[in-house]
Amino acid sequence: MDAAGGGQQLMASELLAIFILCVTIFLFLIVIGSELFTIMADEQLRLLRLIVHYAPLPATCWTPAGPEPVSRYLSWALGQNCDPACGCVRVRHEGRIRFGKDGRWMSMGGEAFFPLAVPAFVWRSTILYAPGMWLEAFDYYVDRTAAMNLNLFSVFPLNNGQPVALKERSLFRYLACTPLFPLVHATSSFIRWENIDETMAKAVISDNGQSAEAFVRFDGRGRIGSIEACGKTDPDTSRPVPGHFLSRYSSYTEMGGFWIPLRIVSEFILPEGGHICAEYTITAVEPETPGISSQGVSS
């Protein structure tokens, strides 16, 4: 009995040691993976800031000629605040996201950087998948290169890639975020407008031959109510098709001298047919003057 009991204790000790070793290795991989993920994000942010540093900014602002609802919106959103010296904006947000129309809502938080001189962005967010489990999302469109990264624990890739189709999607994503920095419509030449009627206009964003188009709808008070990708619905059923992207805006408030929406709801249908819905609550919009900052992307 003593020998058998001693053998069981030895086996239990060995199993415990193996378990501790596995946990240690797993935690080590998470730490290393998180560092590598952060380095990857910071590298793209440094490149974006380098572009902003050397990209020429306009000397003055102007109100785009053309659609009357656009001019009315910009006159309200910009007010008298029209300083083109802002090279980039940093947007912080909280919110929730779900994958699939009936998917479970998951909390998220993150930040994004948008330059005003060129269409580009760096976006990183953390999604709480379950207690003790999280997903790291890192998307960017910098120097005409687009990528989407989704990792479990910052280590294990779930949906990463750089398909060409991401470029058009990224341009639309930049356009859909411009209500957070309306100054871009008074300083940029890569966004043009086409008139539709008194409450809607079409925006076209272009970057070196790549472009994306969207219908911009204005509410009764002249604010942007929604931005929806053009040509992404079935002509027979009017139902969204893969590639469809729609963002709705509400809870406008004055921040930094501009009127911006604090609530954004975005819906997107993936090329393979999957559905993503995200609800954002904007917590801060901070301008950055042209230059290279050493501060990286925080998770």
Cβ atoms of 116 and 184 closer than 8 Å: yes
Asked if the structure places residue 137 within a domain, the reply is yes
Residues 222-239 have a mean pLDDT of 82
Question: What tens digit of pLDDT does each residue of 120-138 get?
Answer: 999 999 999 988 888 999 9
Give, for 249, the enclosing helix (H) or strand (E): strand 245-255
Question: What tens digit of pLDDT does each residue of 177-221 get?
Answer: 999 999 998 888 899 999 999 999 999 999 988 999 999 999 989
The torsion angles phi and psi of 122, rounded to 5 degrees, stand at: -130, 125
Q: Structural domain of residue 157, as residue ranges?
A: 2-288
Q: Report the predicted TM-score, pTM, of the whole model to 2 decimal places.
A: 0.84
Question: What tens digit of pLDDT does each residue of 53-96 get?
Answer: 887 766 566 666 678 999 999 989 987 666 656 788 999 999 99
The torsion angles phi and psi of 233, rounded to 5 degrees, stand at: -130, 150
Asked if the structure places residue 297 within a domain, the reply is no
Q: How far apart (Å, rounded) are the C-alpha atoms in residues 199 and 203? A: 13
Asked if the structure places residue 233 within a domain, the reply is yes
Asked if the structure places residue 207 within a domain, the reply is yes
Provide the percentage of residues in the chain whose pLDDT is more than 90. 46
- pLDDT computed for residue 160 by the predictor: 65
How many domains does the structure of the chain reveal?
Answer: 1
Asked if the structure places residue 104 within a domain, the reply is yes
Q: 3-state DSSP call for residue 32? A: helix
CA-based torsion, 130, 134, 140, 146: positive or negative: negative
Question: What tens digit of pLDDT does each residue of 27-38 get?
Answer: 777 777 777 778
User: Where do the H-state alpha helices sit in 55-107?
Assistant: 68-78
Asked if the structure places residue 296 within a domain, the reply is no
Q: Extract the tokens encoding 92.
A: 């912080």
Asked if the structure places residue 294 within a domain, the reply is no
- pLDDT computed for residue 294 by the predictor: 45
Give, for 124, the enclosing helix (H) or strand (E): strand 121-130
Half-sphere exposure of 280 (CA within 13 A, CB side): 23
Cβ atoms of 205 and 199 closer than 8 Å: no
Asked if the structure places residue 293 within a domain, the reply is no
Classify the phi-psi angles of 20: left when phi > 0, otherwise alpha if psi is within -120 to 50, otherwise beta: alpha
